[in-house]
A and B are shown apart, each in its own frame.
Chain A
Amino acid sequence: MQREERVMDATLDAVLQRVVDIKGSLQELLVKIEREGEQGDWPSYLNSFSVISAQIYTLMKLLKNEKTPILRNYLTLPLQLNAESDEKLLVATEGRVPSFSHDFVPNMLRTKPEPDMEQKHQALEAKMAQVNSDTAQKQINIHNRVVKHVMDLVNTAREEWETETAARTSQPQTCSLNETQILVAALGTGKGFKIRAQPPGPSPTIQQPPPQISTASKAVSAVKTNIKAATSIHPYSR
């Protein structure tokens, strides 16, 4: 019994902490919207959103944890109502609830459905009692079948959608470094644009050599080296 209480306390503390975190992030976002408005930049808004969604995710994970006791199995009963304002309550709720009075309690600790809901429920109960049990069973079966069919449809749609997104994330190839380099070189030096083909020689210079060499280089490579030698000799002989 004591162990259960301790687990319960720990869980409530953890849940409270998460909720406080979420509240903090929401307040930050509100302040940001108020201060920056439309001038704020998108990436920072998106950051805030992703922080909040991550916090909500951790809260949900905590609630679904196996060690967490199922909270809906616990009842909270108002034992005493008090119209006097309560300092401690004011602090605990950050100034939102001044007293544990008849105004607040019905909303905060409701254990009974709203009156018109209750009426509808009773009308349905009465209708159920009138129907023959065989017909009821038949209707239930038909209903189950229809629901199952709809479930199947939704599931196939989801599978399709998931494979589609997976396919989209698995092909991130939107640019090619190689093509970037080709384009930059073409823009910078005109490589690839020149009307005469670049001679496939060993010349490391990007610059197009003078025309007489380029025409000669279309011949056999042996001839090209000869001409190269000739051009390099030429200035000295002058």
Chain B
Amino acid sequence: MAMPVNVPHVGENLEAAMKSQIVPDQEFLLQGSVLDTSLGVVIDRLRGLCDNADILPETFHDHEVVFVLKDFSAMSTPGPASQGVMLRVRRAMDYPDLPYQLRYVGYPELGNYPALLRNCLDIPVSNNVCEFLTELGAKLDHEFIAKGFIMKKGRIKVTVFKMYKMGIGMAKDNLEQMTMSHMVELSVLTTKTDMSVAEDLRALADQLKPLVQLERIDYRRLGP
């Protein structure tokens, strides 16, 4: 039922991956931000460092809706159990024909990894996924707009984007920016055993210093 109709082959791929026990379901992540005034410099530097330096970086304009699935009748106690599971639905506003993307992101793993390591599953879904999730009992938690650039260097995905709050009236043009900075993320999907790629991630992050400080940041330690 959750299997999307328009992209069946992805589901098959997933099944094959599960059978062979090699699932790239771990994500290494480094995060940082850059002030809007220095965005051009960072983009130029990234274009030089990443693949396809000769063409302009690809842009994206996504709308993300985050649902929470948990036992809403239970008493609200502090701790991860009461926070439920966050399910993120993304759609490309600039390419309405593309399938929606459903994403599960786990909590950051504890341990001394070179980058933040977390469980991560992505799957393309049909555009009625929101209704489906609501039927499952998930509740809409929040939503936002992300607009920016995407580049790649080998297996590393580099995104530079700005997040906007959605206005009260939910109008698509009524956007309020979150901060005066662009978010910079370096991420790579891998299996847990593959540590070498995390070192590549660090090397790329070091080359962006001191323009951007990319670090492993656990949002749960940032305080309320």
Please report A residues at the B interface, Cβ cutoff 8 Å.
Answer: 43, 172-177, 179-190, 192-195, 203-210, 213, 231-232, 235
Contact = CB atoms under 8 A, between A and B. Distances in A.
B180 A179 contact: yes
Interface of B: 31-35, 37-38, 41-42, 66, 68, 72, 75-76, 78, 82-84, 141-144, 163, 165-166, 168, 178-181, 183, 207, 210-213, 217, 219-220, 222, 224
A188 B34 CA distance: 18
A188 B183 CA distance: 13
Nearest 10 pairs between A and B by C-beta?
A: A188-B219, A190-B142, A174-B38, A193-B142, A179-B181, A180-B33, A179-B179, A194-B142, A183-B183, A193-B144
Contacts, number: 107
B178 A183 contact: yes
B161 to A, nearest CB: 10
A175 B178 contact: no
Of B41, B210, B217, the most chain A CB neighbours within 10 A belong to B217
A233 B141 CA distance: 27
Contacts of A205: 76, 78, 82-83, 224
Contacts of A173: 35
A174 B66 contact: no
Nearest to B144: A193
Contact of A174 (B31, B41, B78, B217): B41
Nearest to A188: B219
A70 B28 CA distance: 61
Contact of A187 (B82, B83, B168, B183): B183
B143 A193 contact: yes
Contacts of B42: 174
Of B34, B78, B181, B213, the most chain A CB neighbours within 10 A belong to B181
B163 A175 contact: no
A175 B33 contact: yes
A179 B33 contact: yes
Contacts of A231: 75
A180 B219 CA distance: 10
Contact of B219 (A177, A189, A210): A189
Given A175-B34, A179-B180, 20 more contacts: A174-B35, A174-B41, A174-B42, A174-B210, A175-B181, A175-B211, A181-B217, A182-B178, A184-B183, A184-B219, A186-B178, A187-B31, A188-B220, A189-B219, A190-B141, A195-B168, A205-B83, A207-B68, A207-B83, A208-B141
23 contacts: A174-B34, A174-B35, A179-B35, A180-B183, A180-B213, A182-B178, A183-B31, A183-B33, A183-B163, A183-B178, A184-B219, A185-B222, A187-B31, A187-B183, A190-B66, A190-B141, A193-B163, A193-B166, A204-B78, A206-B83, A207-B83, A209-B76, A210-B72
